[in-house]
Amino acid sequence: MSQPAQPTPTPPGTPLPDAVHRSVEVPGGRIHLVEQGTGPLVLMVHGFPESWYSWRHQLPALAAAGYRAVAIDVRGYGRSSKPREIPAYRMLAHVADNVGVLRALGEETAVIVGHDWGSPIAANTALLRPDLFTAVALLSVPYSPRGALRPTEAFAMLGGAEEFYINYFQEPGRAEAEIEPDVRGWLAGFYAGLSGDAKSPSDTGATPPSEATSPRGATSPSGSEATSRSAQGALPLFSVPPGGKLSDRFPVGPAPSTWLTDADLDFYAEEFERTGLTGGLNRYRNVDRDWEDLAAWQGAPLTQPALFIGGELDAPTNWMADAIKAFPVTLPGLSASHILEGCGHWVQQERPEEVNRLLLDWLRSLPAPVGAP
């Protein structure tokens, strides 16, 4: 068994002063993580464009409840390694990173929790290594197995006359040229536009669940056939008109936030001004590669104990309504599926108390040792 990684001092001015920051060696480089507490390991994986900091409300809550709460910077983000090669961001590499973190921390098993891109990363980690990851919680993006259609081909159909955002992100440098001249402004618009603070479901790109049905062959970001036809013409923040930019449809003017302070936005902006966005965008640039790599798992159910939490106004939760309906087959170990009223995409940040309560109730229901204390 690997020896536990040694803690490093918390950098001055870092949020959560009681947390311990570590950089641990994994086969593909290093992963920066932040941890609090002792007990069964709960590994939290963020999405785009975020960092370990998106779990700032969960770290102390889980630690206080008797868990070893660990939030990573996914490869390409923060102080984790940032390989130059696009294939280095394939799903299999993220799975290997999570396995490496588990071993570097000297643990034998963990519960894994993911939000946004972190959700399919967590799901595939649990799918490929059920011996190590004994339960999985998914936020925003529901689990849906690999489908039969190549993802970028499906996304091209979803965009219709416009370009679906995942295809917009495919060309290296294109989205970076939009984002990086004003990182803080772009992030502010992206966060606001997808949050429950937006004025209506259409502002967030969400479609009421009763209207969200899947066109044949449509895929989720993870390459599964479970995205709703709301992506065709009803997603103003997720499609790009010819010659346009994704930010053309962001909310105009400063939008007061009920969940993101100026200090929070400053933290994210400073991280991405330092690192750039290429690492995060390279995750999108591997969707076809993931589809090829995971061919042996087409249609595979995820059988561990599971939890799903989405937002009523969260676009991916609504696009993938059919995936949620399929949970009895695809997620047979599901304990509960919760849709938080009035909540947008940034579930654990917008509704930290509700998410903490749901996570802790679920964790306590799990069999020992993963459910201890």
Side-chain-side CA neighbours of residue 82 (13 Å): 15
290 is catalytic: no
Which of these is catalytic: 21, 46, 94, 345?
A: 345
* Bridge partner list, 36: 69
116 is catalytic: yes
| Residues in Cβ contact with 8 at an 8 Å cutoff, skipping those fewer than 6 apart | 20, 21, 22, 23
Which of these is catalytic: 73, 97, 116, 290?
A: 116
Structure tokens belonging to residue 37? 């507490």
Other C-beta atoms closer than 10 Å to the C-beta of 343 total 26
Torsion of CA 160, 161, 167, 171, to 10 degrees: 160
Q: What is the rounded CA–CA span in Å between residue 205 and residue 316?
A: 9
Helix count and strand count (H, E) for the chain: 16, 10
Could you list the active site residues? Answer: 116, 345
